[in-house]
Amino acid sequence: MSTGLIILLVVIVALVVVAALVTVLIGHRSGAGPGLKRRFGPEYERTLAAHDGDTRATERELNERVERHGDLRERPLAREERDRYTARWTSVQEHFVESPRQAVAEADQLLGEVATVRGYPDGGRYDEQLAALSVHHADHVDGYRRVHRMARAAGTSAAPGAETEEMRSALVGAHELFDDLTGAGSGASAAGRHRAA
């Protein structure tokens, strides 16, 4: 082989290696692909279904959420706050026996309030709050989504409301998010239960 041919091959190999590294770094930085699936878990699948299987649109939306809310740091709850919120959640569960719809509405309000106190966008901006929660609590955000939807449906005469079993299931899912937000579940900090990026 001539020296010129060897130099050309080395340059080509170097360009291929650099291109591969750039591709990997860009993909890693944006959180695309398997990283987003791992980070968002069931929320990735729900978003993919909402985009009719369009992975590009799904990844674009989830990346936008990470960019907007990824740096959010939860404000810790004082023990008194945690105890007060836990007592209110217990009350929600007790109300469920007599008035499931009222309990679901109370759970919706309580989750929005706790999330706001922890530093998430105000509950009055539900969609933005839910997006932020999905970045940090992807495994449990769907329970809040279901409770919120049922609470809104119960407030309109057009929707007959959900069956009691559906409401119970949504409340159980919402309780998982409540435990994450308050650290009331296992005694571990809520931050320790977040999905790894």
**DSSP for 6-62, written as a single string:** HHHHHHHHHHHHHHHHHHHHHHHHHTTTHHHHHHHTHHHHHHHHHTTT-HHHHHHHH
**pTM as predicted:** 0.73
pLDDT of residue 122: 86
* Percent of the chain scoring above 90 in pLDDT: 67
- Helix 100-117 and helix 164-182, axial crossing angle in degrees, nearest 10: 20
Q: Which amino acid would we find at residue 73?
A: R
pLDDT in tens, 12-33: 999 998 888 777 666 544 445 6
pLDDT score recorded for residue 197: 40
Task: Convert the pLDDT of each residue in 145-168 to its tens digit.
Answer: 999 999 988 755 444 556 889 999
H/E stretch holding 189 reads none
